[in-house]
């Protein structure tokens, strides 16, 4: 068995817990490796050839990923978990803890239960996103930062594809102009809209940015998406809950300031492109993300306590 520990080492308590967990694995003769959340691959690596380098490093031998941090650590680890086809055991050392397990007696008993197969495996849907730009194909290249090897994610002559665990937000850019766009679901045009943009989220992401924008809360087992306009300049806008098989497309008019200035954020990370955006196509990913949970508190109990202030 081989376990990967992903930790947010900016948190001093996490650093202390990392030493404890590492010592536990060593005492049990379990092979493990550690990785800081800042060194995780970006969202493009899941669907690009470069991601194979990451998978080959851990893949065949990685049976479990333990995260030490908050929900944000899990969200960013989900990219790696998809590449490695490994479940995530989240140990909550952050604030909200919607995804991570709350520890009352320390992390070691929780980890021991996971190794014994006594925790519940929950499958969460994620998103596969394709972004196409106007102009020459070879100009549609992004600048997504550094990979695990410290090299650029590179460019592509094809539309770029990205992974999201929570959501993609398509929003007004730095100049603050209202965004004009069309959006459709499964080939049927829903509307031509003006506003701050639009969010496409998973059920997991329905408790995040989409909720703040007025979207509904979805049960975690919902397999579809939620589409939420951002501050639409109309009185006729509604959030839409899409099915698992649906495809959401957001498109822009060629030559418009919206196509040139619109900003894209995947799970909070900004993407940048060398050409105006033609379209963003979003669908549910083929491989769900698996979380291990001790199930001490139901999702709806968490919702009641967190959003309705009911103790």
Enumerate the active-site residues.
71
Distance of CA 51 to the CA centre of its chain: 16
**Which residue is listed with tokens 């998103």?**
127
DSSP per residue over 79-122, as a string?
HHHHHHT--EEEEE-SSS-SSSBP-SS-HHHHHHHHHTT-SEEE
Contact between 168 and 130 under an 8 Å Cβ cutoff? The reply is no
Q: Counting beta carbons within 10 angstroms of the beta carbon of residue 293, is it exposed (0 to 12), middle (13 to 18) or buried (19 or more)?
A: buried
| Nearest alpha-carbon partner for 160 in 279, 285, 23 | 279
**Which residue is listed with tokens 């059920």?**
203
Q: Which residues of 116-126 are buried (b: 16+ CB within 10 A; e: fewer)?
A: eeebeebebbb
CA atoms of 290 and 129, how far apart (whole Å): 20
């Amino acid at each position: 068995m081989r376990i990967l520990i992903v930790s947010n080492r900016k948190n001093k308590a996490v650093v202390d817990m990392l030493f404890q967990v590492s010592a536990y694995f060593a005492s049990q003769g379990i092979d493990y490796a550690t990785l800081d959340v800042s060194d995780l691959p970006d969202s493009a690596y899941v669907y690009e050839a470069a991601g194979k380098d990451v998978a080959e490093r851990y893949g065949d031998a990685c049976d479990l990923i333990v995260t030490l941090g908050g929900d944000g650590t899990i969200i960013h680890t989900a990219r790696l978990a998809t590449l490695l086809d490994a479940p995530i055991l989240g140990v909550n050392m952050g604030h909200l803890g919607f995804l991570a397990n709350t520890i009352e007696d320390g992390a070691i008993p929780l980890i021991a239960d996971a190794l014994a197969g006594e925790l519940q495996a929950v499958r969460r849907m994620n998103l596969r996103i394709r972004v196409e730009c106007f102009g020459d194909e070879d100009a549609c290249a992004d600048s997504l930062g550094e990979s695990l090897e410290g090299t650029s994610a590179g460019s592509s002559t094809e539309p770029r594809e990205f992974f999201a665990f929570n959501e993609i937000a398509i929003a007004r850019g730095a100049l603050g102009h209202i965004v004009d766009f069309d959006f459709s679901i499964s080939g049927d045009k829903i509307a031509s809209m003006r506003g701050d943009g639009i969010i496409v989220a998973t059920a997991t992401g329905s408790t995040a940015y989409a909720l703040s924008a007025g979207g509904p809360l979805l049960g975690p087992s919902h397999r579809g998406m939620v589409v939420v306009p951002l501050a639409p300049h109309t009185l006729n806008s509604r959030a839409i809950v899409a099915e698992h098989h649906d495809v959401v497309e957001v498109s822009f008019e060629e030559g418009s300031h919206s196509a040139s200035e619109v900003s894209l954020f995947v799970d909070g990370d900004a993407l940048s492109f060398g050409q105006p955006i033609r379209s963003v196509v979003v669908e549910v990913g083929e491989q769900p993300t698996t979380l291990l949970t001790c199930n001490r508190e139901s999702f709806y109990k968490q919702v009641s306590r967190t959003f309705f202030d009911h103790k």
